[in-house]
Amino acid sequence: MSLFRKKSLSALLAQAADSEKGLKRTLGAGALVALGIGAIIGAGLFVRTAAAAGQHAGPAVTISFLIAAIGCAFAGLCYAEFASMIPIAGSAYTYAYTTMGELVAWIIGWALILEYALGAATVSIAWSEFLNKLLGGRIPYEWSHSPFQSALDAQGVLHSGILNAPALIVLLLLSLLLIKGTQESAFVNGIIVIIKLSIVIAFIIIGWQFINPDNHTPYMIPADAPPAILPDGKEYTYTDFFRHGWGGVLRGAAIVFFAFIGFDAVSTAAQEAKNPKKDMPIGILGSLAVCTVLYVLFSWVLTGVAPFTDFVKEGKEASVAYAIDTYMEGYRWLSTLITVGILAGFSSVILVMLMGQSRVFYSMANDGLLPKVFSELHPKFRTPYKSNMLLFLFVGTFATLIPGDITGDLTSIGTLLAFVLVCIGIIIMRKTDPTTPRPFRTPLVPLVPILGVLVCSAMIVSLDNVTLLSALAWMVLGLIIYFGYSRNHSKLKV
């Protein structure tokens, strides 16, 4: 029994053509672009930007965004070819099953759990922080933070978290919306995207007037930069290679890479697109292009308004509102408006992440690699409702118990691994199936896929050892499940 048995392309295309039994096709090109923007602009921009700037890249976080965007662009071009060729739910998992075989498909599907499930957990944690900011800190620290987090209050008293209750609540509400239907979810997402884009643009335009050129000098953090103070009172030094200069910029790229997660989530909805051959490339590349421009402008303004060292402590969690309240006198109303908009924006990110994960589970269960419960559709709504319910329990556990910086880095490494394998898959598919119609063709193959592999691999290497070891442990667990269950239940078993 081969570990690299492949799902035939003809079988996948036949499955895509069967619109009666599968997921309902309700999404057009505009909805897919909105879906991508809805998933992309969120915690990555509003939270991870400050973390990357404060601890690694300084004002040069703008370069970090460009590096991450280049890696995403290479991968996005590969995704667009696959999504137009194979309009099936499952994203990179499905593409790998066709090009590299079952074991690699399982590994990438398992990695996508890190991307979507932990991505949803990370953003729900950020949602909780911003809600507390909006409420003036009325939610006790103990009930809005992980048990692994602690911080000193204004009186010097150390508080430790118990669980993150607001994160759990928003996950429940959005899971119920997803069960109701994809079209309803896309409509809500479209409204939120308009609000979110308006707020990002408003901050860029108004904040530009408050940029202090001194905050952009030096542009990269020097190795001898004075230590910053962490929330628990400890010092944070910049002497490590990945905390200053180009090393810091590269680590910053790996951190803000989280901000680009979402355009690939568009490909998980391929089986629900009205005209996937035309609309999927537009949705993937269009959402990526819009967000890249906004990200560079946003990070330039944020690090110009407030010095990067502020984001190590005071402004780490609600960085945008903090920068406005502290340095943009007379615009406190904008701080409140942005906080409300960010909460709405985070909601759309969580929504798309949860949808993406349930669609990956749906495909894996259809192939027999996961229990059938993950592929069972609601008799009326035709959504994978049982998968949504189980996913809520899984994601909710991470969101309530694990700190956001840990889940964010694990999300990034899961996505980067998926991108590397998708880029490799394009090269393989061009050799094994050269005559298959490709409504969208990745340009300059194999150069573009190879560059995608190199850039994404460099960002993986730059992540800290704890994240790398945690991801390795996750992969080992995945292999145990594959050899213990999935291999013997696969529908390709002969």
- Residue 132 CA to residue 141 CA, distance in Å, equals 9
What is the end-to-end Cα distance of the chain in Å, rounded?
7
pLDDT tens-digit series, residues 14-28 = 665 555 555 556 667
Higher pLDDT, 155 or 195: 195
Contact criterion met (CB below 8 Å) for 247 and 58: no
**DSSP result, 156-199:** S-EEE---BHHHHHHHHHHHHHHHH-HHHHHHHHHHHHHHHHHH
- Round to whole Å and give the CA distance between 310 and 301: 14
Query: Predicted confidence band at 84 (pLDDT cuts at 50, 70, 90)?
Result: confident
- Counting residues of the chain whose pLDDT is more than 90, the rounded percentage is 15
Give me the torsion for CA of 235, 254, 124, 22, rounded to 10°. -170
CA atoms of 69 and 304, how far apart (whole Å):
21
Q: ∠ CA 363-367-373 to the nearest 5 degrees?
A: 70
CATH number attached to the domain at 24-489: 1.20.1740.10
Give me the mean pLDDT over the 337-360 stretch.
81
CA distance linking residue 80 with residue 288, whole number of Å: 11
Average pLDDT over the chain reads 82
Q: Residue 298 contacts by C-beta under 8 Å, 6 or more apart in sequence?
A: 45, 49, 200, 203, 204
The whole-angstrom distance between residue 58's C-alpha and the CA centroid of its chain comes to 22
317 pLDDT tier (thresholds 50, 70, 90): low
Report the pLDDT value the prediction gives residue 76, as an integer from 0 to 100.
84
For the chain, counts of helices (H) and of strands (E): 19, 4
pLDDT band at 399 (very low <50, low <70, confident <90, very high): confident
Weakest-pLDDT range from 51-55, 92-96, 207-211: 92-96
- Write the CB contacts of 304 (distance below 8 Å, at least 6 apart in sequence): 59, 207, 210, 211, 212, 213, 215, 216
- Angstrom distances, CA of residue 395 to CA of 172, 295, 348, 462, 479: 10, 27, 16, 26, 21
62-76, 111-125, 175-189, 410-424, range with the lowest pLDDT: 175-189
CB-based contact 124:171 (threshold 8 Å): yes
Tell me the two tokens of residue 488.
């013997």
How is residue 99 written in tokens?
Answer: 């090009």
pLDDT at 18: 54
| Rounded Cα gap, residues 250 and 462, in angstroms | 7
- Grouping H, G, I as helix, E, B as strand and the rest as coil, residue 235 is strand
Q: Give the pLDDT of residue 216.
A: 94
Per-residue confidence at 449, pLDDT binned at 50, 70, 90? very high
How deeply is 199 buried, as exposed, middle or buried, from its count of CB atoms within 10 A (0-12, 13-18, 19+)? buried
Residues 6+ apart with CB under 8 A from 221: 56, 57, 58, 60, 238, 243, 244, 245, 248, 308
Give the separation between CA 68 and CA 71, rounded to whole angstroms.
Answer: 5
Instruction: Please report the pLDDT score of residue 132 as a whole number.
Output: 84
